[in-house]
Structure 1
Amino acid sequence: MTIASSSPAATGQAVELTVVRRDGSSTPFDATKISVAVTKAFLAVEGPDAGSTHRVRDLVTDLTGRVVTTLTSRGQHNTAQPRRSVQVEDIQDQVELALMRAGEHQVARAYVLYREERTKARTPADPSGITEKPALTVRAADGSRPPLDVDRLRIVVAEAAAGLDAVDPELILNETLGACYDGIAQHEVELALVMAARSYVETEPQYSFAASRLLLDQIRREALGRVHGEPRQASQADMTAAYVDYFPRYVQVGIEAGQLDPELGTFDLDRLAAAINPDADLNFTFLSLQTLYDRYLLHLDKVRYELPQAFFLRVAMGMALREDDREARAIEFYQLLSSFRFMSSTPTLFNSGTTRPQLSSCFLTTVEDDLSGIFSGIRNNALLAKYSGGLGNDWTPVRGVGAKIRGTNGESQGVVPFLKVANDTAVAVNQGGRRKGAVCAYLETWHIDVEEFLDLRKNTGDERRRTHDMNTANWVPDLFLQRVEAGGDWTLFSPNEVPELHDLYGEAFAAAYAEYEAAADRGEIRVFKRVKAVDLWRRMLTVLFETGHPWITFKDACNLRSPQQHDGVVHSSNLCTEITLNTTVDETAVCNLGSVNLVAHLTADGLDADLLRDTVKTAVRMLDNVIDVNFYTTPESERANQRHRPVGLGLMGFADALFRLRIPYSSDAAVEFADSSMEQISYHAIEASSVLAAERGRYSSYDGSLWSQGVLPIDSLANLQAARNGDVVVDESTRLDWDALRQKVLRDGMRNSNVMAIAPTATISNICGVSQSIEPTYSNLFVKSNMSGEFTVANPYLVTDLKARGLWDQVMVSDLKYHDGILAGIERVPADLRELYATAFEIAPLWLVKAASRRQKWIDQAQSLNLYMAKPSGRALDELYRSAWRYGLKTTYYLRSQSATHVEKSTLKGTDGRLNAVAITVPAPPMPADLPLPEPTGAVCSIDDPDCEACQ
């Protein structure tokens, strides 16, 4: 390393330092080693978070500079020798002296101790005697005080560390014993074990698995004791036999408690128990198992009696109730779930096999334009939300402010007062405290109340016309964006005066809309308002940035590519914008969701096509079974689900798969992987549904569908191209034999009207221990908050890479904390790793749109696509959302943005180049002027908000 001198006597020639090691060998001088050592001293004195403070980091930089200046200036008098050597001890003396001169005496002392520890580490340890802690007792439930069983703790900790080469069981045991006291309660001992392991997660991700296994020991004691009616403990080695004995008793306890369906008791329980794989319990991370414990495992009076593998088997049994060989199918379903290759959605996990098996995820309704219809819709919201359903309401038919009410000869107050009632209903119905009721209201862009609709989530204004707990979304027709780009006008109407518009899209909508505008000009329409389309679009984007709502979704793309356009209209999406199904006042659209774990299907060469096909085949069968065993809370939902049988197979672990494949998210290779992976899932899902149709029969409304015409999702792109006169940017390349699949569908039909939708998977991805859905990594080290508490999460792939390069230490942890889990500002991290592990706000958002476009061409529904923008501006938002439209997306989800102060802190040297690596360009004219954006008001969606159930 060459250091330029800053001494006044300098000649301008740099001094090159060489460090002489204690063994006599030489190595180039590296100033970062001084920074690391000094930082460790500060951490030792001020705690592990000290390194993430500005004060400490500035001091470390200053002190390192002083030491370097001192070392280099010594050679400045001898310009003939620009190279010189320094001893390791000399460097350390200068570090100690610099700390003392800076007044950091405690830190200097810590540095001295650090030097002593390093010296001791180089000398053989003295095998002296070990001081043992006095014997401790444990306070049992009956008041007795048996001695603390240290031998059992040692066994449990050893099991927790088995196979985890980076986990030190003695470290966990000693930490635990240090926290124990005489008379400690048994549950406190278990907690001490978990907390001891958990405290090391941020420095070594493997401790997350160790903490999970220690929590598992607590769950075993709790569940086995409750089922057997007496205190019981079991080690992991005991569980092969223990599960066999436990499972039949567990089912009986659940039936007697009125929680499990009595039909489960008629299964061959011994056969099922023998199929349980206890070792699958070892695959949970701590976050996974804690989430399962807090929210999913069945309990009586808050005492869990359901073990994790019993949970998966119960869910599998619930979905196999109508199968011919129920046991064989239940085992097949169980193996898929317990292996984490596929995971059903949260409602299915909550309720499968119970006495109220409401297993469906999403419900879409259209609200009728009269008081009876409005309050019937709100009532249905409550009933559907009660058992874990997420709701999407189409409110477009409800007449707007100023519209005439024939029955009273008065004027309407518009849709907003009723949205307030729907908002409060969602809050009131919170699914027994397990998760909040969640609903999204959709309104078409031509509705007369759309401007007030945009303000619903604001923190200012009349609280009676605000809905702080309800999501909102714009249902945008193509014609509106075409008017924006043309600089044209846009007319707002009350739906009671333009009844056709609600059910029209594409060219038919455009023609009818123009006729209604002409009628308004002739004075034939009473309630309307004309605005500049670009002004309304600017306001939509401004409010989206300020409040996170309403989301931008595209009506025409959803309808023109819908397989079911012969049987109705898609009037909205759902709570998370991935479902696009028809609704009427008589039919509530229902979708049944689950997600494939991409990472579980990866090999060194990419996706294992055969394994993926097997997974998808079984997953589609499971989802189809949901429709028949489901508990329906409204006749409208049962009618629609039975007629059309839609399911939504999605994916998760996309970012993890890229890490495994060494592909940066912001790259053409990532876009290609998004394309190829979704093509395989699409092919196998359609094939699986067609196989089920041959076995079980086609869905009732099949005739006339795009399927029945041999038009697959990839083919329906032509509809969108035609409607927009080719103004669509979508890659149409394929890899698989789609002609053969078309012929199969034409021959055998489809069991399901829709088969694919990519949901957010926030909770089920936690259970599987993988990245959410198609999301980029938000941070490489962060604290995740949800209903189960706060959890330190470190990117294990990054940690492995940093270890391999000798860069993973406490200082790196401190650096990651300081830089919010972003590598861009950490210069000692190699450039290739900074590129591979770039986080969401470092990736130009067009990469997300491009990858989503490649997926969307294969999907018959949509995908929950969050967009991230580190430095939002009006022009950037305009270009981004018009890119999403032009690239053929059906919907978008949250806009994630950072506050200005956060950006300033995180955007350090080396960041800007990557942020601007891809310019967002679209073949369309720019906005006439840039749009100044205010700071977010605080209502912007926060990542992993524990109170936000939209992503769960």
Structure 2
Amino acid sequence: MTSRTSSTSSVTVPDDRAGDDGDSGTLRVLRRDGSVSPFDASKISVALSKAFLAVEGDGAAASSRIHHLVGELTTQVETSLRRHASAGAVHIEQIQDIVELALMRGEQHKVARAYVLYREERAKARHKPVERDTSVHVDWARVEDVVAEAVAGLADVSAEPVLEETKRTLYDGISEAELATALIMAARTLVEREPNYSQVTARLLLDKLRGEALSHLAGERRQARHGELDYRSYFRDYLARAIELELADPELATFDLDAVTAAIRPERDLDFGFLGLQTLYDRYFLHERGTRFELPQAFFLRVAMGLALREDDREARAAEFYELLSSQRFMASTPTLFNSGTTRAQLSSCFLTTVDDDLDSIFQSYRNNALLAKYSGGLGNDWTPVRGLGAHIKGTNGKSQGVVPFLKIANDTAVAVNQGGKRKGAACAYLETWHIDVEEFLDLRKNTGDDRRRTHDMNTANWVPDEFLRRVEADAEWTLFSPDETPDLHDLYGMAFARRYREYEAAADRGELRVFKRVRAVGLWRRMLTMLFETGHPWITFKDPCNLRSPQQHAGVVHSSNLCTEITLNTNADEVAVCNLGSVNLAKHVTPEGLDTEQLERTVTTAVRMLDNVIDINFYTIPQARHSNLRHRPVGLGLMGYQDALFTLGLPVTSDGAVEFADNSMEHLSYYAIAASSALAAERGRYETFDGSLWSKGILPIDSLRLLADAREGDALDVDFSSTLDWDSLREKVRADGMRNSNVMAIAPTATISNICGVGQSIEPQFENLYVKSNMSGDFTVINPHLVRSLKQRGLWDEVMVSDLKYFDGSLAGIDRVSDDLKRLYATAFEIDSRWLVDAASRRQKWIDQAQSLNLYIDAPSGRKLDELYRYAWHKGLKTTYYLRARAATSVEKSTLRGTDGKLNAVPAASPAPVSPEPASRPAPDVDFVATDGAACRIDDPDCEACQ
């Protein structure tokens, strides 16, 4: 199509190339050069859509009415063409005449009038150049240089649209800061049409940041383009200022700064997308009262130096750590990035506690939560020991009000301590399914009822024993107890729990227990799933797999997971479990040919060393955390960018190949991580409680899967036991040299650090191919660059495709022009059966000594679907699940993402049909309620911890 312009608007009309591709019966198109080509009706549809876009704005083709109208007009044009065609051929001018006539008959007069005018003006430029307001006093030459630098080296972007959009916003007296913001806003409006403008926008933000940082350090206005900055000199000034402000550890100044600054790679400042750099700017970079003076490579080097403080060769290790972080092959967790190299180096991510059944322990837990959350720790609290409603209180000869009132206080503590304003305080309360208060626990997140018995801000999770799921499948009774009368159930798991639980049921029948209640197991399960859908909580996590496969069975019991359900460590009244997290960027270790195992081994080996260093450097806010962490030394190495890796490999999530890749990639990561920890043990010594652990017996995570199978009995476990690497030699190495860390792997959500790296979160499927992400840094247009690349290769990327993606809420399913192979590869989270996600997670779980943050997606939830999905996860050996994602009650702004960068409107989202086959499932029990108006976690919810 060619473009024509006028003084008012522009449209695109069919030209000589109309009908180049495709066939439609015997109809042919006679072009102006005399050649004949097959007629293709989609060309008419595209031309009409572009006409509406140009004349009536981006909302025209995106609206339901116009989208339908374009289809009708296309049909009318094709019918008329076939009626008028002579000898099966029609001239291009006749096609355009019929298009005009169809528009007039359809009373689309503005579009038709413009269409006629533009057929005569096709050689003119699409947009009339906008004259700059000469009354605005700006250094326009520098602006042009900055924008030219921002677009340099990037494909399919140019400076002109950024400059022209900027000119439209200039006004007399505009400040330098406002001009910098205007440039950023001008570039970000172009992201939806070309993903590379995200990098352009980031580079313009970087220019603003450089000016801010250099001016702050110099005490006067300073400006420098990227190529003009002496990063090594800047770093010295930056570090001195950070130490002066008591923001950085003075010990960093004792490094050989010539040696460490030689490692700086200034060009990596240009690698960020806009969302990543804006997130760093808003929440991570050091600042003085809001003025940022830390540039990206200084940030990475500060973190690396902080992690190398106790190394023998500090400079070499700092350079090694910096290389891993700045290349984004590995990223440390948010608390580590926030605090490494600072005066309060609280670097750990997660803390797990058990609350005992007495007031001292309960109120001590509130204090501990506050201190742990203050420096960005996420909390998982095990509340099962606290006696239930109606239980006897010996000291007062009264009755307990149960666990719920105490949970209300824990909720308010999390709200009050908001992690220094960097992100919201976050905690998750866990309760075992046999607790007498479990039914009230399920209601904690409801918006109705007594607000004094609600926790609107705190997450909750069910800690579910296998015995309960066996009762559900058998449609048997389930008994609820108060833990003060059944105290040993808390520490039992597997068949030992099942036997003791049945003994307590018999004791209740004999009248030996005061507080208990009988319910139908399926009825309670139904209610658990109903609340999960309606409120998003409590999550479903499985007690027995977490304990039966724990390497530390000899040293205690896993009583809960953490805030994000990937940590499974022992807790008791004297030990607060701590985990130190970081994630491998899988997208950086995959090529179209497959997994780069050599680079992955190098990355994992260094990453495990960095995580182990956290334990010794860490600032511990409570003694129980320090005692536990130094004793067991657990770390949690995970991954992110899994979906990006699948795109690179051309593997749909809903394919056996993707499941095999999940298995293979995690096997290699597991192998290298265990080997790295064992090598550190040989260098630095074993962790204190190694003897007696599964590690000491040569039982690795893949071997512990057999322990779960033995405990499950029968066919209650459906897992894969295959392997490809030389695990026998690694078993011997671990026996001989030991392990430095009691636990080594856990897959966290990576919600924020994946944004920094510009890849998909953790093991998540693609949410949508075009959407608006909201978080604490604002609203960001997110478009799938892999999809855009594929569409460009097939000649399908244009404004109409952008409009169609908006109309179909980021899904390809309803776009006829797109082939089925692309629809399957780029299927979005709500178009796939979540059992494929469970299958992949099951194959990963066999290699992981802890767990995974696994979100599950349901487009049209029902009781039967939820029951099948969660029982399927149990049968596949998963330890935990995380959020249940329901389709949001919002969708992509239909009119345009430009201008506001895509504020969401309350428009019901479409529900494309699933495009993938469904794995086989087990028969569902009698759980047939229909969940209709739920509030499971919305993926675009800015208040959701996983979305941060």
TM-score range for the pair, normalised by the shorter chain length: over 0.9
Q: 1:54 aligns with which of 59, 64, 71?
A: 64
2:688 partner amino acid: S
1:74-101 residue CA offsets vs partner (Å, 9 max, x unmatched): 35xxxxx7x5211222212222222222
**Matching residue of 2:248:** 260
Q: Which residue of 2 aligns with 1:931?
A: 929
1:27 aligned to which of 21, 37, 41: 37
Q: Distance in 2 between matches of 1:594 and 1:217?
A: 29
Aligned to 2:17: none
Q: What residue is the counterpart of 2:271 in the other structure?
A: 283
Check if 1:96 corresponds to 2:100. Answer: yes
Query: What CA distance in whole angstroms lies between the structure 2 residues aligned with 1:137 and 1:930?
Result: 67
Report the CA distance between 1:951 and its aligned residue: 4.7
Q: Helix, strand or coil for the counterpart of 2:424?
A: coil
1:722 corresponds to: 710
Determine the structure 2 residue equivalent to 1:177: 167
Counterpart position of 1:750: 739
Q: Which amino acid aligns with 1:763?
A: T
Q: Deviations over 1:221-263 (max 9, x none)?
A: 0001111222111111113xx2111111111101111111111
State whether structure 2 residue 940 is matched by structure 1 residue 944: yes
Native 8 Å contact 2:888 2:909 kept in 1 = no
Residue pairs, 1:613-632, within 5 angstroms: 613-632=601-620
CA distance in 2 between partners of 1:385 and 1:134 (Å): 51
Task: Indicate the RMSD between aligned Cα atoms, in angstroms.
Answer: 1.8
Give the drift of 1:193.
Answer: 1.4
CA distance in structure 2 between the partners assigned to 1:895 and 1:94 by the alignment: 51
TM-score computed with the length of structure 1 as normaliser: 0.93
1:810 partnered with 2:799: yes
After superposition, residues 98-113 of structure 1 pair within 5 angstroms as 98-112=102-116
Question: Counterpart of 2:139?
Answer: 149
- Cα distance in 1 for residues equivalent to 2:883 and 2:180: 40
Tell me the distance in 2 between the aligned counterparts of 1:319 and 1:640.
Answer: 20
Residue 491 (str. 1) matches residue 495 (str. 2): no
Alignment of 1:192-591 (within 5 A): 192-239=182-229, 242-591=230-579
Q: Does 1:778 align with 2:767?
A: yes
Q: What is the Cα deviation at residue 513 of structure 1?
A: 0.3
CA distance 1:114–1:398, change in 2 (3 Å): farther
SS in 2 for 1:942: coil
Q: In 2 relative to 1, CA 131–784 (structure 1 residues): closer, same or farther, beyond 3 Å?
A: closer
Do the aligned partners of 1:445 and 1:477 also contact (CA within 8 Å) in 2?
A: yes
Q: Where do residues 643-662 of structure 1 align in structure 2 (5 Å cutoff)?
A: 643-662=631-650
Query: Counterparts of 1:544 and 1:905 in 2: how far apart (Å)?
Result: 21
Instruction: State the shift of 1:904 in Å.
Output: 8.6
Contact map agreement 1:365 1:589 (CA 8 A) in 2: yes
| Superposed displacement of residue 919, structure 1 | 4.4
Q: Unaligned 5+ residue runs, structure 2?
A: 1-23, 892-906
Could you tell me which runs of 5 or more consecutive residues in structure 1 were left unpaired when the two chains were aligned: 1-13, 76-80, 139-147
My pick for the range that moved more, 867-876 or 417-426, is 867-876
Whole-Å separation in 2 of the counterparts to 1:131 and 1:712? 67
How far, CA to CA, are the matches of 1:427 and 1:361 in structure 2?
18
Q: In the alignment, which residue of structure 1 is the partner of 2:623?
A: 635
Given that residues 577 and 863 in structure 1 are in contact (C-alpha distance below 8 angstroms), is that contact kept between their aligned partners in structure 2?
A: yes
CA 1:134–1:851 in 2, change beyond 3 Å: closer, same or farther? closer
The alpha-carbon distance between structure 1 residues 626 and 905, as it changes in their structure 2 partners (threshold 3 A), is closer
Determine which of 766, 779, 800 is the counterpart of 1:790: 779
- Deviation at 1:744? 0.6
In 2: Cα distance, 1:627 partner to 1:179 partner:
51
Residue type of the alignment partner of 2:109: H
> Does 1:686 pair with 2:686?
no
CA distance in 1, matches of 2:819, 2:845: 34
Q: Secondary structure at the match of 1:793?
A: strand
Q: Which amino acid aligns with 1:921?
A: S
Deviation, 1:48, is 1.9
- Report if aligned partners of 1:38, 1:111 keep a CA contact under 8 Å in 2: no
- Aligned AA for 1:808? W
Q: What does residue 8 of structure 1 align with?
A: none
State the SS of the aligned residue for 1:456: coil
Contact 2:352 2:381 in 1 (8 A): yes
Letter in 2 for 1:640: S
2:886 equivalent among 875, 894, 897: 897
- CA distance in 2 between counterparts of 1:409 and 1:934 reads 45
- Give distance in 2, aligned partners of 1:907 and 1:356: 48
Match of 1:878 in 2: 867
Contact 1:761–1:951, Cα closer than 8 Å, also in 2: no
Cα gap change, 1:152 to 1:377, in 2 (>3 Å): same
Deviation at 1:175, TM superposition (A): 2.5
**Does the Cα contact within 8 Å between 2:888 and 2:938 map onto a contact in 1?**
no
1:135 Cα shift?
4.0
Flag the 1:113–1:405 CA change in 2: closer, same or farther, 3 A: farther
2:897 maps to what in 1?
A: none
Alpha-carbon distance, 1:607 to partner? 1.3
2:180 equivalent among 184, 190, 193? 190
Separation of aligned partners in 2, 1:451 and 1:824: 41
Show the counterpart of 2:89: 85
The answer as to whether partners of 2:859 and 2:911 remain within 8 angstroms in 1 is: no
Q: Is the 8 A contact 2:768 2:829 kept in 1?
A: yes
Match of 1:143 in 2: none
Helix, strand or coil: the match of 1:151?
helix
Among candidates 727, 732, 745, match of residue 738 of structure 1: 727
Which deviates the most, 42-51 or 622-631?
42-51
* 1:128-167 CA-partner distances (Å, limit 9, x unpaired): 9x996464554xxxxxxxxx22222222112111111201
Between the aligned partners of 2:668 and 2:113, the Cα distance in structure 1 is 61
**CA drift at 1:28:** 1.6
Which position in structure 2 is the counterpart of 1:141?
A: none
For 2:133 and 2:824, the matched residues in 1 are separated by 53
CA distance in 1, matches of 2:669, 2:635: 14
Distance 1:15 1:856 in 2: 53
Question: In 1, Cα distance between the equivalents of 2:66 and 2:481?
Answer: 60
Matched, 1:837 2:826: yes
Matched-pair contact (CA < 8 Å) for 1:575–1:950 = no
Alpha-carbon distance change, 943 to 901 in structure 1, aligned in 2, over 3 angstroms: closer
8 Å contact from structure 1 (residues 392, 572) kept in 2: yes
Q: Which amino acid aligns with 2:218?
A: H
Output one character per residue of 1:899-937: Cα deviation in whole Å (capped at 9) or x when no partner: 6998995345xx34x25x214413xx521352222311x
Closer, same or farther: CA 28–267 of 1 in aligned 2, 3 Å: same
Contact 1:297 1:307 in 2 (8 A): yes
Counterpart Cα distance in 2 of 1:116 and 1:519: 93
* Partner deviation per Cα, 1:760-783 (whole Å, 9 max, x = no partner): 001000000000000000000011
Deviation at 1:468, TM superposition (A): 1.0
Match for residue 921 of structure 1?
A: 921
Which amino acid is 1:199 matched to?
A: T
Kept in 2, the 8 Å contact 1:757–1:862? The answer is yes
Aligned residue for 1:73? 83
Structure 1 residues 739 and 117: alpha-carbon distance in aligned structure 2, compared to 1, 3 A threshold = farther
Q: Give the partner amino acid of 2:562.
A: N
Does the 8 Å CA contact 2:255/2:314 hold for their aligned counterparts?
yes
Q: CA deviation at 1:866?
A: 0.3
**Cα distance in 1 between the residues matched to 2:532 and 2:264:** 48
The residue number in structure 1 matching 2:756 is 767
Q: 1:189 to 1:506 in 2, by over 3 A?
A: same
